[in-house]
Amino acid sequence: MSEQMRKVAVIGGSRIPFCRSNTSYAEKTNLDMLTTALQGVVDRFHIHGEKLDEVIAGAVTSHSKDWNLAREALLSTTLSPLTPGITLQQACGTSLQAALMIGAKIATGQIECGIAAGTDTTSDPPITFGRKFSQRLVKMGSARSAKQRLLAFKGFRPSELKPVLPANGEPRTGMSMGQHCERMAHEWKIAREDQDRLAMESHGKANRAYDEGFFDPIVTPWSGVARDNNIRADSDMEKLGSLRTAFARDA
């Protein structure tokens, strides 16, 4: 490890177009999207077959099948399979934390280079069974006889098959990110009009950035999509003001 902190540089990156839930990426998984974004970096910087010091990546919401997501994604690219992959999770800050970790390791001399990445989809949520039914399946899996397998389902009720959706609320408060944001806007007295104006300007800037070619070296077209499909290029204050609020009934 270096005794002096070294300078760290971001050389570039790649991402796939953003899409609304259950649209163009409805059949895609975290692994699909992360792999494509990583391959975009490999293609843009011509590092096919190269062994990097580290790839750190994760997903906001993960399936059990996403175990070792970063490693599996990089193995699906043309990077050298000798490249280490580390999977992490820190809610919406997952990819930012990955970048901070890569940067810190470069600064301290632990590694020379790496890729930080992240992915998220709500079109492929990790829907599971309740704990009671899951325990029955575990017991059935460890049963040594037909009788034991049948006993695992003793007292079974159809209601146990009710699917469990991933929680949208923060465990400590039970509130979603949007509800917390609404509370913040109320406490800080941020008017609806100010929020609408910020949203309108943001969408306008995103649309102009595409038109002016800003995203050309950044966005990797994929699955028939070359441009974010969630940009409201024709938004104005009147249209935004007519929309119902998502998290506040009295706004």
- The 10s digit of each residue's pLDDT in 84-118 is 999 999 988 999 999 999 999 999 999 999 999 99
Confirm whether 142 is domain-assigned: yes
pLDDT of residue 121: 92
191 and 232 inside one domain: yes
Q: Which residues touch 120 (CB under 8 Å, ≥6 apart)?
A: 30, 59, 60, 61
How many CA atoms are closer than 13 Å to the CA of 21, on its beta-carbon side? 6
Tell me, yes or no, whether 113 lies in a domain: yes
Domain membership of residue 208 (yes or no) is yes
Q: Closest by alpha carbon to 223, among 68, 32, 61, 70?
A: 32
Question: Does residue 110 share a domain with residue 149?
Answer: no
Position 1 pLDDT exceeds 60: no
| Same domain (yes/no): 68, 93 | yes
Indicate whether 125 pLDDT > 80.
yes
Domain containing residue 67: 30-119
Give the type of residue at 197.
R
Q: Rounded to an integer, what distance in angstroms lies between the CA atom of residue 71 and that of residue 58?
A: 10
Do 88 and 151 fall within a single domain? no
In terms of domains, do 157 and 181 share one?
no
- Confirm whether 22 is domain-assigned: no
pLDDT digits (tens, 9 = 90+) for 162-213: 999 887 788 899 898 899 999 999 999 999 999 999 999 999 999 999 999 9
Number of domains in the chain: 3
Q: Is residue 68 within 8 Å of 85, Cβ to Cβ?
A: yes
pLDDT classification of 3: cutoffs 50, 70, 90: confident
112 and 135 assigned to the same domain: no
Interval 18-47: pLDDT, tens:
999 999 999 999 999 999 999 999 999 999
Does one domain contain both 115 and 44? yes
Is 142 found in the same domain as 84? no
| Domain-located, residue 73 | yes
Domain match, 112 and 148 both = no
Q: Which pLDDT value is given to residue 68?
A: 94
For residues 68 and 38, state if they share a domain: yes
Percent of the chain whose predicted confidence (pLDDT) is above 70: 98
Q: What is the pLDDT of residue 238?
A: 94
pLDDT for res 179: 93
Shared domain check, 38 and 90? yes
Say if residue 83's pLDDT is above 90: yes
Look-up: residue for tokens 């040594």?
144
Residue 155 and residue 184 in one domain: no
Separation of alpha carbons 99 and 115, rounded Å: 8
**Starting from the edge strand earliest in sequence, which strands make up the sheet with 55-59, in order?**
85-87, 55-59, 115-119
Question: pTM for the whole thing?
Answer: 0.88
Residue 251 lies inside a defined structural domain of this protein: no
CA angle, residues 244, 180, 26, in degrees to nearest 5: 65
Instruction: Give a yes or no: residue 202 inside a domain.
Output: yes
Query: Could you read off the pLDDT of 139-168 as tens digits, one per residue?
Result: 999 999 999 999 999 999 999 999 998 877
Last residue of a domain, one of 119, 149, 169: 119
Residue 63 lies in a domain: yes
Q: Is the pLDDT of residue 63 over 90?
A: no
